[in-house]
Amino acid sequence: MEEILCSLHNYTKFSGYPYSFYNMAQEALDCGLDAVITTDKNIFPVGHNQYYYRSEKKLMVVCGEELFDPLNDEIQHYLSVGIDREQFNKDVGNAQDEILILMDLKSPSLKSRYYELINAEDILYKGLKHSLPAIRKNIEQFDTLLLSDQRCVGLAGTCSSSFQTKNTYAELFSTVCNHLLVNDDFSGDIGHDSNILFKAIRKGNLFFSLDGLMDSKGFRFLAEGNNQDSVALPGDTIHLQNSITLKIRIPEACTCKLIHNGAIIKEWRQCKQIPFVIYEPGYYRVECALQIKRDFYDWIFTNPIYVRKG
């Protein structure tokens, strides 16, 4: 299994930001990212999907688009990624492959099942401690959507439409990150690798984290069936016969919470390896928090594993 570090919701000079694609890519390489998805405002820059290389490192940059009505601030902003915009323009009614990410959960829309739940620029602008209540509210709304039998995907964003950033991309990239879990490593072929990237996002095979607190690379949450051939990652479905074993691996000892259908069913303190057997269907997801001095700070959030009967 490969872990792909991906930053989503990034602007370039096409949105008035003081960054070219090249300059943004260099700071992403400095931060150890594997992929960056740009989403400039109401513009799709053709010809900028490419790889950037430095020594043995490589970074894939692929373009999406932020969609909104500039004459009406009340209209929701969406991130459109994972679709060939030229092909979309030819056949506007056939957008099954489009990943339409809603960035504001104040008015959740049933038209989208993808939600930006945390945002690096918001965190740096407000400060982490003052950002946590809004993050918790987003997570609670996410659980409400999951309880309504929606299959939803939560993600972390980098830039915010509400602010003109004064932070460098190196600061933003180091604050939050999406960790995509895939079976194949990137090959260097932009078409092949972008398909791997978008497939993982569509399925929700990822966790997202506040890596500014601590690097979360290596974290894992999976479910194993009785025959041990059946393994599910976040975003996957696994079928329950007698029992399912959940396995959690954390790179740093912390507080870990297991959530089942929106409620905490188990909490561990200062743990790094956790096996836990479950017998009930529903969705299961994990949250981890770090203790810094006397305070606890949310750190890692997974997408749900869906456990079904039969």
Q: What is the pLDDT of residues 126-171, one digit of tens each?
A: 998 999 999 999 999 999 999 987 899 999 999 987 766 688 999 9
Of 188, 207, 203, give the one whose Cα is nearest residue 248. Answer: 207
* pLDDT band at 230; cut points 50, 70, 90: confident
Report if pTM > 0.75. Answer: yes
Residues 292-296: contacts with CB within 8 Å, 24+ apart? 292/213, 295/129, 296/255
Burial of 116 (0-12, 13-18, 19+ CB in 10 A): buried
Q: Among candidates 120, 85, 113, 119, which has minimal Cα distance to 99?
A: 113
Q: What DSSP character marks residue 47?
A: T
**pLDDT classification of 282: cutoffs 50, 70, 90:** very high
pLDDT of the residue at 181:
97
* CB atoms near residue 135 (< 10 Å): 18
Does the pLDDT value for residue 105 go beyond 80?
no
What pLDDT is recorded for position 64? 94
For the chain, domains (ranges, CATH) are 1-212 (3.20.20), 216-310 (2.60.40.10)
For residue 281, give the nearest of 226, 228, 237 by alpha carbon: 237
Q: Count the helix, strand and coil residues of the chain and give each as a percent rounded to the nearest 5.
A: 20, 40, 35
Give the pLDDT confidence score for residue 229 in this predicted structure: 61
pLDDT at 118 over 70: yes
Compute the CA torsion angle 39, 40, 46, 49 (nearest 10 deg). -40
* Euclidean distance between CA atoms 11 and 21, whole angstroms: 9
> What is the pLDDT, as a whole number, of residue 73?
63
HSE, CB side, 13 Å, CA atoms: give it for residue 270: 1
**What's the pLDDT at 46?**
87
The tens digit of pLDDT for each residue in 169-184 reads 999 999 999 999 999 8
**C-beta of residue 64 within 8 angstroms of C-beta of residue 42:** no
Rounded to the nearest integer, the mean pLDDT of the chain is: 90
pLDDT in tens, 43-102: 998 889 999 999 889 999 999 999 887 776 666 788 999 887 666 565 555 555 789 898
